Amino acid sequence: LPLDERLKRRIIDGERNGLEADLDAALTQRSALAIINDTLLEGMKVVGELFGSGQMQLPFVLQSAEVMKTAVAYLEPHMDKADDAGKGRIVLATVKGDVHDIGKNLVDIILSNNGYDVVNIGIKQPISAILEAAEQHGADAIGMSGLLVKSTVIMKENLQEMITRGVAERWPVLLGGAALTRAYVEDDLRSLYPGQVHYARDAFEGLSLMDRVMT
């Protein structure tokens, strides 16, 4: 198989033997980010389709996710880093009940490499823990990730809780994850939330939103 196909297959098959050598070879041709976006994420997309249609079982999805994580960790040091540190601080979490963190961790990498201080508090985080971290670390914004349809409901509840606690206008909120839609965030959630709430389709939109809310 050509290198690019082979790397994609490694994600789909959850095969990590020889992964580093293939990544090294790919790095001589393309940037780390291009490898992630154009190849590895394409592999994850196929995994999602196979799982969704019942052609792949959960343990294999987990293996694919592990190879994806290994690959991203291997590529991370090769990514471009901006010199402009200290642009602002964001608390990042996957919401309560949701374990998906590959997307959240990519957002962490992209923001960290572009001058933001990211406090990544992990998966399955209830709103109380998110707000506590935001308070404790003096965050400028809050980012919530969630991939399950259920998580989109949790995000709405989280915003409601922020209203109840009187902190809706304190932190701009960025939301992302595969089950969300722009319309849900920008129409439904915005209509009930007095503070800033933004939808990020991917990590780069997350970055441009952070640049926007920090100016």
Q: Which residues are catalytic?
A: 98, 100, 151
Query: What residue number has its CB nearest to ligand B1M?
Result: 103
Instruction: Give the nearer residue to ligand B1M in terms of CB position, either 26 or 72.
Output: 72
- Is 166 part of any known ligand binding site? no
User: What pairs with residue 94 in β-bridges?
Assistant: 145
| 71: nearest Cα among 99, 104, 106, 98 | 106
**CA distance linking residue 81 with residue 110, whole number of Å:** 9
CB of 212 to ligand B1M, least distance (A): 13
Residues forming contacts to ligand B1M in the complex (CB under 6 A) are: 41, 44, 47-48, 51-52, 58, 61-62, 65, 92, 97-104, 106-107, 143-145, 147-149, 174, 176-179, 200, 202-203, 206
- Is 100 part of any known ligand binding site? yes
Instruction: Give the nearer residue to ligand B1M in terms of CB position, either 26 or 209.
Output: 209
- Is 198 part of any known ligand binding site? no
CB of 208 to ligand B1M, least distance (A): 11
CB of 198 to ligand B1M, least distance (A): 8
The 3-state DSSP class for residue 77 equals: helix
Q: CB neighbours of 147 closer than 8 A, spacing ≥ 6?
A: 98, 100, 103, 177, 178, 179
User: What pairs with residue 93 in β-bridges?
Assistant: 144
- Is 83 part of any known ligand binding site? no
**CA distance linking residue 179 with residue 80, whole number of Å:** 29
User: Residue 177: what are its φ and ψ, rounded to 5°?
Assistant: 135, 150
Amino acid at residue number 213: V
* Residues tagged in the binding site annotation: 97-101, 145, 203
Binding site residues for methylcob(III)alamin, as ranges? 97-101, 145, 203
